[in-house]
A and B are shown apart, each in its own frame.
Chain A
Amino acid sequence: MPQLTPEQRATFFEGLLKQRPMPFEKIKKTCFAEGVPDCSATPRLRAIAWKLLLGYLPEDRMQWHTFLAMQRLSYQAFFEELNVDLRFEIKKDVDRTLPDYAFYNTSHREGRVHHAAISRILFVYAKLNPGIRYVQGMNEILAPIYYVFCQEIEAAAADASGASLKSLGEDSIMPTALEEALKAVEADAFFCFTNLMAELRDHFCSKLDHTVIGITAKITALERLIERLDQQLSTTLTRLRVSPTFYGFRWITLLMTQEWELPDVLRFFDSLFADPRRDETKSNFLIYFAATMVRPRARSS
């Protein structure tokens, strides 16, 4: 394919989203290899792409409107029970989520609104999943997802004419009033987070730490991969007693969210969510990416 400008890529990508039936595999491949095209339409395209990749939005675009309306109502219904201890526990961590970004800065009103929203999402998740409840680090995974979905509102507001949104059948998805829009974002982020956690929850469960599905098994997979890719490095790390647990635990549990700046995390998530081998827990994109981060630059090229 000849080199396309970001705008051309965005048009192409939007074209894929509009096709019926939706060429899901093609969309997935594009996200994995190139990421969501970087241009003025990115916030909107990325939010839709992530909702598809995380198995939230159905492939049939005609169902989106009804589906989303239903999901957003269900979410409101979930948020009924109250539990003061759990709310405090979550609040303590949410207050420490991406504190360097204005979006989540609590000295602004908007930051407090976003904090309250991600706190509620984690709370509802913990209530609906009593076996796993809330575990530190879930906040870090949720924050970029919620952020991206909020960007969609801003994009919609800026794009007041709504021409391109309409062409996607999107104007009916995103309520116009800001408050309603924020509620919608919260519900969407909740369901996408829940779907993602279905794959990741074992990492957060201490009872599974030493089983074949727990975090230790993932860290061992990372260690084996490093060994296979770079024997010399592996020997050096072993000699220095740098256990992969010391870095791999955080990298894998948090999906790299504490290792990179937010814009890089967003691009990383494009590939992560579109990874064709996401369910092959021992040789997926995340493990390969982690192994690459350990390798010295000179040898990794």
Chain B
Amino acid sequence: MSYAYLFKYIIIGDTGVGKSCLLLQFTDKRFQQVHDLTIGVEFGARMITIDNKQIKLQIWDTAGQESFRSITRSYYRGAAGALLVYDITRRETFNHLTSWLDDARQHSNSNMTIMLIGNKTDLEHRRAVSFEEGQQFANEHGLIFLETSAKTAANVEEAFINTARRIYEKIQQGVFDVSNESFGIKVGMAAQQTGSVNVSIQGQQRSSSGCC
């Protein structure tokens, strides 16, 4: 299926905050109570529509514990958007956000759009981080913010789509040179521009040999 743009996303955050479950809910519209542990990286994709344009989201779901291994930093390369996820019932996952953000900013392009997500709102009775705290952190660091539940699907669509909308606006404003792949955006056939081919995997600037 042709698309106007392809955006590469990366999902990051501590282990067990629900990254893979958010992806599964977004791509398959289902919830898995016990999801396999993610090792390395898993991929998901879905087509969305913004401003009557078909946009393909190519999503890289990373492993929480491996984030600070240099090997996984190659996943950031050429990401247009990042979902930074914490678990509202586990305070420590919120406390680690700063180091996640440092890592993301250091290894991605400066125009990457970052959405902060407080997941597991279905567990309201066990909440350990208030909505206001999340919002404040997002404001201080220039992030978009939403609370979601991968279980009930609340705000999951919005999390992925609002991020895409922000990226799309940046394109309209000319923030990106869309022919430069390092921004994680690919122009598809449907945008009636030349010089791009639909490929299933993209994002690395360098050749894959001698990775990292």
Contacts and interface: CB of A to CB of B under 8 A. Distances in A.
B37 A206 contact: no
B211 A216 contact: yes
A250 B37 CA distance: 11
Interface in A235-293: 237-238, 240-247, 249-250, 253-254, 258
A242 B39 contact: no
Interface string A193-227: 00000000000001001100001100110010000
A230 interface: no
A136 interface: yes
A194 B66 CA distance: 22
A93 interface: yes
Interface string A94-127: 0111010000000000000000000000000000
A92 interface: yes
Contacts of A216: 71, 211-212
B207 interface: yes
Nearest to B35: A96
B65 A244 contact: no
Nearest to B207: A238
B15 interface: yes
Contact of A96 (B37, B200, B201): B37
Interface residues of A, number: 34
A299 B208 CA distance: 23
A179 B200 CA distance: 52
A210 B70 contact: yes
B188 interface: no
B124 interface: no
B40 A241 contact: no
B39 A96 contact: no
- Nearest first, the 3 A-B pairs at minimum CB distance are A243-B208, A99-B34, A250-B40
Interface string B20-41: 0000000000000011110111
Interface string B60-76: 00011110111100100
A262 B211 CA distance: 31
Nearest to B16: A92
Interface string A67-98: 00000000000000000000000001101110
Contacts of A16: none
Contacts of A209: 69-71
A246 B72 CA distance: 9
Contacts, number: 88
10 contacts: A92-B16, A96-B34, A99-B34, A136-B63, A136-B65, A206-B66, A240-B201, A241-B204, A245-B74, A253-B40
A206 B69 contact: yes
Nearest to B64: A136
B202 interface: yes
A63 B96 CA distance: 51
Q: How large is the interface on B (under 10, 10 to 19, 20 to 34, 35 or more residues)?
A: 20 to 34
Interface of A: 92-93, 95-97, 99, 135-137, 139-140, 206, 209-210, 215-216, 219-220, 223, 237-238, 240-247, 249-250, 253-254, 258
B1 interface: no
Nearest to A134: B65
Given A97-B37, A140-B39, A216-B71, A135 B201 contact: no
Interface of B: 15-16, 34-37, 39-41, 63-66, 68-71, 74, 199-204, 207-212
B43 to A, nearest CB: 8
B153 to A, nearest CB: 21
A95 B34 contact: yes
Nearest to B34: A99
A99 B64 CA distance: 19
A99 B33 CA distance: 10
Nearest to B201: A242
B34 A241 contact: no
Residue among A95, A219, A238, A240 with most chain B CB within 10 A: A240
A238 B201 contact: no
A136 B37 contact: yes
Contact of A249 (B35, B39, B210): B39
Given A135-B65, A223-B209, A241 B202 contact: yes
Nearest to B78: A241
Contacts of A92: 15-16
B204 A243 contact: yes
B30 to A, nearest CB: 15
A153 to B, nearest CB: 25
Contacts of A140: 37, 39
B76 to A, nearest CB: 13
A263 B189 CA distance: 44
A246 B41 contact: yes
